[in-house]
Amino acid sequence: METSHRRWQEILFNRKMVTCIFLGFTSGMPLYVLIQLVPAWLRSHEVDLATIGLFALVSLPYTWKFLWSPLMDRYKLPFLGRRRGWALITQIGLLVSIGALGQFDPSVSLQAIVVTVFIVSLFGASQDIVVDAYRRELLADDELGTGTSLFINAYRLSSLVPGSLALIMSDVLPWPVVYWVTAAFMGVGIITTFIIKEVSDDALAPATLREAVVDPFVEFFSRGGLSAGLAILAFMFLYKLGDNMATALATPFYLDMGFSRTEIGSIAKIAALWASIAGGILGGVVMLKLSINRALWVFGFVQMVTILGFVWLSTVGHHPLGLFLVVSGEYLGVGLGAIALTAYMARETSKAFTATQFALFSSFIAIPRTFANASTGFIIEAVGYTQFFIICTLVAIPGMLLLVKVAPWNERRE
């Protein structure tokens, strides 16, 4: 239920928001181990880049997690409740498997490392399923924006452990110690799981596995009919397609504009990091006052307009200050849009099938990123950068138009 008249202090200053911060941190840790720490570790042992690139395939559980999410809706473990029990299992599994990685030598045990990395990925994706479900069940509709903002920013900040602290430690400590210290940070999630209260309603849980698999789809499309359900899915697909395309080949674009790798690392990457975090924080603050519907309109407009900065940059070429401003603007829009869309997805889940529906939605919105990564190079080669970024801006319009149907500006949700 959406409660539109609570003061922002009541929403922001409560234990639910603290819970979102700690859950965001523990949810982000495993993914950044996989995409930041493991590649650096392998390269330091002179594993070739092609092999390191193939390691990306073992993160497939994050894309396909909806396949086993019904099990987490259907079955309740005999301790801590339906959500916290699964959370504890995944977090202990992550602590052990991350720590175990450091026991292998990449020069002689690559197959064992592949298996262990896959286990980390499987536990990490499973933790995401249950944490996303818990967060949706914990927060009221008017708390989703702020809670999502805090969760996502804590998720991003967790990258400092495997992506910064662990790499610094690896210069002075052996890798087994580095991995066990990194794994120890999963203790944040384990402690949080013991402290927080179970919020799932067992009366809403599916009674059979068939219900857990089939009923989430039946329930979703029964709300407003097939056309309404398809409109919501189309909106989720299209809302961020424009900025997904615009940023898919950002680094090659910067190089083609004459920026050095040093300039890209010191200007573009820093601008992207601070702006996406600032966008997440600003989004959470603004959504204390704006409803989710109105945030989708405002933030969607910002993320569409900021793509035009790349149009300008593609015409002026090498312009360091322009690079900083354009990238900052684009990733501010990326951060804002991500907060609003994630809050919207959470709101559109039924509390009877939270794990399954949220996992399906989050997997579904990953498709545009794959589409963008696969298609943008061909488009750029055909029309050039300037026309390409204009196309990206135009591609963002259909998602905005769908807001009229799926999230009207003046809708009051009961």
Last residue of a domain, one of 190, 205, 220: 205
Pairwise CA distance, residues 188 & 239, whole Å: 34
pLDDT of residue 277: 81
* CA angle (142 as vertex; 136, 146 as ends), nearest 5: 75
pLDDT of residue 412: 58
Instruction: Say if residue 238 is in the same domain as residue 156.
Output: no
Decide if 212 contacts 73 (C-beta within 8 A): yes
The counts of H helices and E strands in the chain are 25, 0
Question: What CATH number corresponds to the domain at position 273?
Answer: 1.20.1250.20
Predicted confidence band at 2 (pLDDT cuts at 50, 70, 90)?
very low
pLDDT of residue 414: 40
For residue range 330-344, list pLDDT tens digits in order.
888 888 888 889 889
Pairwise CA distance, residues 306 & 319, whole Å: 17
For residue range 231-259, list pLDDT tens digits in order.
999 999 899 888 888 887 777 788 888 88
pLDDT of residue 8: 59
Last residue of a domain, one of 205, 237, 255: 205
Residue 122, domain member (yes or no)? yes
Q: Is the dihedral of CA 71, 76, 79, 81 positive or negative?
A: positive
Pairwise CA distance, residues 330 & 311, whole Å: 12
Predicted confidence band at 26 (pLDDT cuts at 50, 70, 90)?
very high
Pairwise CA distance, residues 113 & 45, whole Å: 13
Residue 99, domain member (yes or no)? yes
Residue 2, domain member (yes or no)? no
Mean pLDDT of the chain: 85
Predicted confidence band at 168 (pLDDT cuts at 50, 70, 90)?
confident
Residue 249, domain member (yes or no)? yes
Torsion angle of the four alpha carbons 54, 59, 63, 67, in this order, in degrees rounded to the nearest 10? 120
Instruction: Say if residue 12 is in the same domain as residue 141.
Output: yes
Last residue of a domain, one of 172, 205, 238: 205
Query: Can you tell me the mean pLDDT for 53-57?
Result: 71
Instruction: Say if residue 221 is in the same domain as residue 320.
Output: yes
Instruction: Say if residue 128 is in the same domain as residue 266.
Output: no
Residue 412, domain member (yes or no)? no
Instruction: Say if residue 15 is in the same domain as residue 153.
Output: yes
Per-residue tokens: 151: 């969760």
Higher pLDDT: 297 or 371? It is 297
Instruction: Say if residue 254 is in the same domain as residue 155.
Output: no
For residue range 150-165, list pLDDT tens digits in order.
888 888 888 888 888 8
Give the H/E segment covering residue 142. Answer: none
Out of 47-51, 114-118, 130-134, 292-296, which region has the weakest mean confidence (pLDDT)? 47-51
Decide if 316 contacts 257 (C-beta within 8 A): no
Instruction: Say if residue 240 is in the same domain as residue 346.
Output: yes
Residue 379, domain member (yes or no)? yes
Residue 357, domain member (yes or no)? yes
Predicted confidence band at 281 (pLDDT cuts at 50, 70, 90)?
confident
Query: Can you tell me the mean pLDDT for 20-29?
Result: 93
Query: Can you tell me the mean pLDDT for 118-138?
Result: 91
Residue 414, domain member (yes or no)? no
Which of 156-160, 285-289, 343-347, 391-395 has the highest mean predicted lDDT (pLDDT)? 391-395
* 264 secondary structure, DSSP code: I
pLDDT of residue 11: 63
Pairwise CA distance, residues 152 & 145, whole Å: 11
Query: Can you tell me the mean pLDDT for 278-301?
Result: 85
Domain that holds residue 344: 211-406
pLDDT of residue 59: 73
Instruction: Say if residue 178 is in the same domain as residue 219.
Output: no
Residue that the structure tokens 């997805």 belong to: 345
Torsion angle of the four alpha carbons 314, 398, 336, 310, in this order, in degrees rounded to the nearest 10? 0
Instruction: Say if residue 125 is in the same domain as residue 194.
Output: yes
263 has pLDDT over 70: yes
Pairwise CA distance, residues 102 & 121, whole Å: 16
Residues 6+ apart with CB under 8 A from 273: 331
pLDDT of residue 10: 65
Backbone torsions φ then ψ of 173, nearest 5 degrees? -125, 150
* Count of domains forming the chain: 2
Please give the model's pTM, rounded to 2 decimal places. Answer: 0.76
Pairwise CA distance, residues 327 & 330, whole Å: 5
Query: Can you tell me the mean pLDDT for 260-268?
Result: 80
Q: Which residue type, as a one-letter code, is found at position 233?
A: L
Instruction: Say if residue 191 is in the same domain as residue 231.
Output: no
Instruction: Say if residue 399 is in the same domain as residue 313.
Output: yes
For residue range 186-223, list pLDDT tens digits in order.
999 999 999 999 887 777 778 788 888 888 888 888 88
Instruction: Say if residue 359 is in the same domain as residue 259.
Output: yes
